[in-house]
């Protein structure tokens, strides 16, 4: 009987692994201890949609770095294929890829992280893992091969997670550009009778807090 490997889940430690990359061997998540990182897979080198995504991630790499967040790519191609493709992107698009790309030649890492979906072929789907500075998996996204991801959305998610952690808040749809609340954040609901009373009293005193009901209060962003 084959042993079933458990896929990482939200809130769990990113599985420890040593990976071969275009920047040499890297130990995950230890290599980025104290930093956030975004690990994203692509179906294959020298494919059009993946090329646009790599260019998009590289163009926003400094924005991720400003959030103490690193980028790392992955596919089941070999290192020499990654290197040649990176050269092609530099030559044709004048964009130099500055983040490492994992060469998962045997697909072991892709299997561990649930990036191989038999219904979508033998290559990795477009997965995204956002991992925080403690090595905890915070977001997992999967896109099919035919749909390119939004780099801006991945960056927005990192910003939202970091603000939520720092300020003990929840973030509305499309924060900080919610169509109703704008850039306001949501205060976690009170969970007791006394908590309800205190929350409403707090809202009366603090002009930055607005309560639509005891379970739905928002706060202005500083």
Instruction: Judge contact between 154 and 53, C-beta under 8 A.
Output: no
d(CA 209, CA 56) in angstroms, rounded, equals 37
Say if residue 189 is preceded by a cis peptide, omega within 30 of 0.
no
Question: Which of 157-165's residues contact partners 24+ apart within 8 Å by CB, and which partners?
Answer: 157/130, 158/36, 158/38, 158/64, 158/67, 158/69, 158/130, 159/67, 161/130, 161/132, 162/36, 162/67, 163/221, 165/132
The per-residue pLDDT for range 37-54, each reduced to its tens digit, is 999 999 999 999 999 999
- Beta-carbon neighbour count of residue 92 at 10 Å? 10
* % of the chain beyond a pLDDT of 90: 83
Would strands 137-143 and 185-187 be described as parallel, antiparallel, or unpaired?
unpaired
Residue for token pair 């897979």: 41
Pull the structure tokens for residue 188.
């976690």
d(CA 75, CA 71) in angstroms, rounded, equals 14
Span 73-83, average pLDDT? 95
> According to CATH, what is the number of the domain 17-150?
3.40.30.10
d(CA 58, CA 52) in angstroms, rounded, equals 10
Domain regions of the chain by residue span? 17-150, 168-222
The per-residue pLDDT for range 135-168, each reduced to its tens digit, is 999 999 999 989 999 999 999 999 999 999 999 9
Q: Tell whether the torsion through CA atoms of 157, 162, 164 and 165 is positive or negative.
A: positive
Domain 168-222 class in CATH: alpha beta
d(CA 56, CA 85) in angstroms, rounded, equals 15
Q: What is the dihedral of CA 134, 124, 83, 8, to 10 degrees?
A: 10
pLDDT on residue 159 = 98
Q: Lowest-confidence range among 66-75, 87-96, 113-122?
A: 113-122
The per-residue pLDDT for range 92-128, each reduced to its tens digit, is 999 999 999 999 998 899 999 999 888 877 788 899 9
Task: Choose the catalytic residue: 50, 69, 211, 217.
Answer: 50
Q: What is the DSSP letter of 30?
A: G
Binned at pLDDT 50, 70 and 90, residue 2 comes out as very low
Pull the structure tokens for residue 189.
């609901």
50 classed as catalytic: yes
């Amino acid at each position: 009987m084959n042993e079933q490997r458990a896929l990482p889940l939200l809130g769990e430690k990113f599985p420890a692994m040593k990976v071969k990359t275009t920047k040499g061997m890297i130990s995950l998540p230890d290599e980025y201890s104290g930093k956030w990182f975004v690990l994203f897979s692509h179906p294959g080198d020298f494919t059009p949609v993946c090329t646009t995504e790599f260019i998009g991630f590289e163009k926003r790499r400094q924005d991720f770095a400003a959030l103490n967040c690193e980028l790392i790519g992955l596919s089941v191609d070999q290192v020499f294929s990654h290197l040649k493709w990176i050269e092609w992107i530099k030559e044709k698009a004048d964009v130099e890829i500055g983040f490492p790309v994992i060469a998962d030649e045997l697909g072991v890492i892709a299997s561990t992280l649930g990036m191989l979906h038999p219904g979508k072929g033998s290559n990795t789907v477009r997965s995204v893992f956002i991992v925080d500075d403690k090595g905890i998996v915070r977001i997992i996204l999967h896109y099919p091969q035919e749909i390119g991801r939004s780099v801006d959305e991945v960056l927005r998610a990192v910003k939202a997670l970091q603000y939520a952690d720092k300020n003990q808040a929840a973030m509305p749809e499309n924060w900080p550009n919610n169509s109703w609340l704008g850039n306001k954040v949501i205060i976690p609901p009170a969970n007791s009778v006394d908590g309800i009373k205190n929350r409403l009293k707090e809202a009366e005193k603090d002009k930055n807090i607005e309560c639509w009901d005891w379970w739905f209060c928002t706060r202005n962003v500083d």
